[in-house]
């Protein structure tokens, strides 16, 4: 149980926030859909600073040591300071109907957050400012930035972690594994026998009309049967606190570098907070990914050559590409570093040619092979698909996976799970209306001013119309577009996103969040990274979590079960591991205008879109 003092403080902080009921509607200020450049995941990788542990500057998260010299205060003064950082927390009408993850409807602190709340209540606004400054310095020193309008900016990391209980995460984890397993079977079937189409479980034209269904991928059979080596399944919590799937990302989901860097920075700035919590580690991601990539190799199975294929340094996610390559101990290459001969892929090295067995590509299908897709592409490798079809190289994730994360196909995932697994979905979708079905289209057109209308091929939030805030002209325009291209549009009710306390204006206030967990499939096991990327909409009332539009992120803590030592993140070991400095990747040679444009285009079109939180 929370202490009486904690409950009193929390209740005071959340005065006016008691909710007699919930609602599915609320004003939203924007979209969270984003390409890779919108995540904050396009961090600069050309810095060569040596990072120093910042915990000395920041001090621990409790009141025993301060980031700046302070006079010892009485217990009463400390409580007053705690009240001040939560002052007015429950008074913002916009958030009144949202599910708050720290406080319940009565103002009591929820069990997973009690330790974090206790640490926060010992701090005042000056303390929070000092810790926030320490986080920012650590990110700058590590070169963790995002690209916005051609400029590198520090990636905003909020100092209040998002905490998920062990039992709740177990349910989420099961749902994610189920979903990825079903989508894996779906993709194998679609590019193979197409049983699901013959059995008329889903319409044939649903697949054939998808822009990301590539007939060029037919006949390419992964050696170990895995097409989805990495998935990013975007989740939101609705007003009832239930996790729902908002979007599937099966091509090259991005953002995991920020999960690891967030944890690394938080352990430095708040070491004692980790010592007092059983938080599951995120440090194993690169090892799990490398295991999956090596397991996919058809040739040289004992020691396959794995590379990470990047569009180049001009791409907004280059930081992540270089970080993963470095942590996996594999080469980071561009298209010009590879070539095909006799359906075999080789890498140019200082010691001569070297055969490549597995390519973890961070390039869109359309740019991957100029012989099969865009002939003008300078990012890919000519002949790559033929080499894959011959079984001489594995492309991860597989070409054509985009049909599995199409926004219209998403609406049929419950049927896909039932067909292949004979199970009901453990994670529900957000309710979605399909404009290509006559009755649902008419329903959408009749209620345009109440719904969020999204283009199926949209990314970065472009093209989304938020009905309650749209003008009559905007509604008429989108109605014409829907009638002209019904397959290209879906609609969803306005769904509340949950809130987590976030530092803003020197105090803590509720802000909307979303979550992208990362799933790795090695063919024998489906592994889920504990936690994932939590993004937070920082402007008051906003649902826009994109870093390019004022969003930030939080460290996501999944608490280990009390009975499991295997799940425990040993804080001491984690601090030691995270203190190891990572070197910035070397910047390549000067690029041509065409190369720059194509590399930057990847940030807008790649299948690395994060969440459209305007569901």
pLDDT at residue 597 in the model: 57
Residue 73 lies in a domain: yes
Within a domain: 486: no
481 found inside a domain: no
Say what the pLDDT of residue 66 is: 34
Whole-angstrom distance, CA of residue 42 vs CA of residue 152: 9
> What's the rounded mean pLDDT across residues 449-476?
87
Does 571 map to a domain? Answer: yes
Checking if the pLDDT of 604 tops 50, the result is no
Establish if 489 belongs to a structural domain: no
Most confident option among 58-72, 294-308, 544-558, 564-578: 294-308
pLDDT in tens, 569-603: 544 455 445 444 333 333 444 555 555 556 555 54
pLDDT at 140: 78
Residue 509: phi and psi, rounded to 5, are -140, 155
Average pLDDT over every residue of 211-216 = 94
**Digit-coded pLDDT (tens) for 343-401:** 999 999 999 999 999 999 999 999 999 999 999 999 999 999 999 999 999 999 999 99
Q: Rounded distance, CA 1 to CA 333, Å?
A: 54
Q: How confident is the model at residue 317 (pLDDT cuts 50, 70, 90)?
A: confident
pLDDT for the residue numbered 31: 36
Q: What's residue 562's pLDDT?
A: 76
Task: Please write down the long-range contacts of 123-127, taking CB distance under 8 Å and 24 or more positions apart.
Answer: 123/61, 123/63, 123/81, 123/82, 123/85, 124/81, 124/82, 124/84, 124/85, 125/81, 125/84, 125/85, 125/506, 125/507, 126/68, 126/70, 127/63, 127/66, 127/67, 127/81
Evaluate whether residue 436 is within a structural domain. no
Cβ-based burial of 196 (10 A; exposed 0-12, middle 13-18, buried ≥19)? buried
Tell me the pLDDT tens digit for each residue of 180-211: 999 999 999 999 999 999 999 999 999 999 99
- Is residue 27 included in any domain, yes or no? yes
CA-CA-CA-CA torsion sign (79, 80, 86, 90): positive
In this prediction, what percent of the chain has a pLDDT beyond 90?
61
Which residue in 321, 268, 284, 221 sits closest to 581, CA to CA? 268
Q: Is 35's pLDDT higher than 70?
A: no
- Whole-number pLDDT of residue 67: 37
CA atoms within 13 A on the CB side of 307: 22
Residue 32, pLDDT above cutoff 80: no
What are the tens digits of pLDDT across the range 156-167?
899 999 999 999
pLDDT of residue 612: 38
- Check pLDDT > 90 for residue 43: no
- Work out whether the CA dihedral 432, 437, 439, 444 comes out positive or negative: positive
Phi, psi angle pair for 359, to nearest 5°: -115, 115
Tell me what pLDDT residue 41 has: 34
Q: Report the pLDDT value the prediction gives residue 459, as an integer from 0 to 100.
A: 67
User: What is the tens place of the pLDDT at every residue in 58-100?
Assistant: 343 333 333 333 344 455 554 544 457 888 888 888 899 999 9
Stretch 308-327: mean pLDDT: 93
Q: Given a cut of 70, is residue 217 above it in pLDDT? A: yes
Mean pLDDT of 403-413: 96
Number of domains in the chain: 1
> What is the mean pLDDT of the segment spanning 31-49?
36
Q: Is the dihedral of CA 64, 562, 535, 496 positive or negative?
A: negative
Domain span holding position 568 = 1-430+495-615
Least confident residue range of 47-61, 225-239, 558-572: 47-61
| DSSP-assigned states of every residue in 416-450 | HHHHHHS---SSPBPP-EETTSHHHHHHHHHTGGG
Residue 47 has pLDDT above 60, yes or no: no
Q: What is the DSSP string of 190-246?
A: HTTT-HHHHTTSS-HHHHHT-TT--GGGTT---TTS-S-SEEEEEEEE-TTS-EEEE
Lowest mean pLDDT among 9-13, 203-207, 554-558: 9-13
Q: How high is the mean pLDDT of the chain?
A: 82
Tell me, yes or no, whether 475 lies in a domain. Answer: no
What is the distance between the alpha carbons of residues 177 and 526, in angstroms, rounded to a whole number?
Answer: 6
Question: What is the pLDDT averaged over residues 310-316?
Answer: 90
Mean pLDDT of 561-566: 67
pLDDT of residue 185: 98
Query: Of the candidates 283, 250, 124, 269, which has an alpha carbon nearest to the alpha carbon of residue 184?
Result: 250
């Amino acid at each position: 149980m929370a202490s009486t003092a904690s409950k009193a403080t929390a209740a005071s902080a959340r005065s006016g926030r008691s909710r007699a009921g919930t609602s599915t509607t609320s004003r939203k200020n924007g979209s969270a859909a984003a390409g890779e450049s919108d995540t904050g995941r396009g961090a600069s990788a050309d810095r060569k600073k040596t990072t120093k542990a910042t915990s000395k500057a920041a001090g621990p998260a409790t009141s025993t040591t301060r980031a700046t010299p302070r006079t010892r205060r009485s217990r009463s003064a400390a409580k007053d300071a705690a009240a001040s950082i939560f002052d007015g927390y429950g008074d913002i009408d916009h958030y009144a109907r949202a599910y708050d993850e720290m406080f319940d409807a009565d103002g009591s602190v929820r069990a997973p957050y009690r330790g974090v709340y206790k640490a926060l209540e010992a701090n005042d606004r000056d303390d929070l400012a000092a810790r926030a400054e320490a986080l920012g310095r650590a990110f700058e020193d590590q070169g963790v930035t995002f690209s916005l309008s051609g400029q590198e900016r520090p990636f905003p990391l909020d100092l209040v972690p998002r905490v998920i209980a062990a039992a709740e995460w177990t349910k989420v984890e099961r749902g994610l594994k189920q979903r990825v397993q079903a989508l894996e079977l779906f993709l194998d079937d679609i590019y193979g026998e197409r049983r699901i189409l013959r059995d008329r479980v889903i319409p044939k034209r649903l697949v054939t009309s998808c822009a990301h269904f590539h007939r060029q991928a037919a006949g390419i059979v992964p050696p170990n049967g895995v097409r989805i080596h990495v998935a990013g399944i975007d989740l939101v919590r609705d007003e009832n606190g239930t996790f729902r799937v908002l979007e599937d990302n099966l091509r090259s989901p991005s953002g995991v570098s920020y999960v690891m860097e967030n944890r690394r920075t938080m352990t430095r700035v708040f070491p004692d907070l980790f010592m007092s919590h059983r938080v599951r580690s995120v440090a194993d991601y690169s090892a799990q990914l490398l295991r999956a990539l090596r397991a996919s190799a058809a040739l040289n199975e004992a020691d396959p050559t794995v590379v990470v294929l990047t569009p180049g340094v001009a791409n907004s996610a280059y930081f992540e590409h270089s970080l993963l390559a470095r942590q996996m101990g594999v080469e980071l290459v561009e298209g010009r570093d590879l070539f095909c001969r006799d359906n075999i892929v080789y890498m140019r090295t200082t010691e001569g040619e070297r055969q490549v067995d597995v390519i973890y590509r961070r390039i869109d299908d359309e740019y991957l092979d100029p012989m099969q897709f865009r002939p003008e592409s300078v990012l890919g490798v000519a002949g790559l698909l033929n080499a894959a079809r011959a079984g001489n190289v594995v492309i991860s994730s597989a070409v054509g996976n985009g049909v599995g994360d199409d926004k219209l196909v998403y609406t049929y995932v419950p049927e896909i799970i039932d067909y292949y697994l004979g199970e009901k979905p453990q994670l529900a979708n957000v309710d979605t209306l399909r404009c290509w079905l006559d009755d649902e289209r008419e329903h959408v057109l009749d209620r345009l001013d109440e719904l969020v209308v999204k283009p199926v091929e949209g990314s970065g939030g472009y093209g989304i119309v938020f009905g309650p805030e749209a003008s009559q002209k905007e509604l008429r325009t989108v109605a014409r577009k829907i009638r002209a291209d019904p397959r290209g549009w879906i609609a969803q009710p306005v769904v509340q996103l949950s809130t987590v306390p976030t530092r803003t204006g020197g105090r803590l206030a509720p802000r909307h969040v979303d979550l992208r967990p990362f799933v790795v499939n090695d063919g024998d096991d489906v592994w889920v990274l504990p936690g994932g990327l939590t993004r937070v909409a920082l402007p008051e009332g906003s649902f826009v979590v994109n870093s390019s539009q004022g969003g930030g992120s939080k460290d996501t803590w999944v608490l280990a079960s009390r009975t499991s030592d295997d799940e425990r993140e040993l804080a001491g070991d984690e601090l030691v591991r995270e203190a190891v400095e990572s070197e910035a990747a070397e910047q390549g040679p000067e690029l041509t205008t065409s190369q720059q444009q194509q590399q930057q285009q990847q940030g807008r079109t790649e299948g690395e879109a994060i969440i459209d939180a305007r569901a």
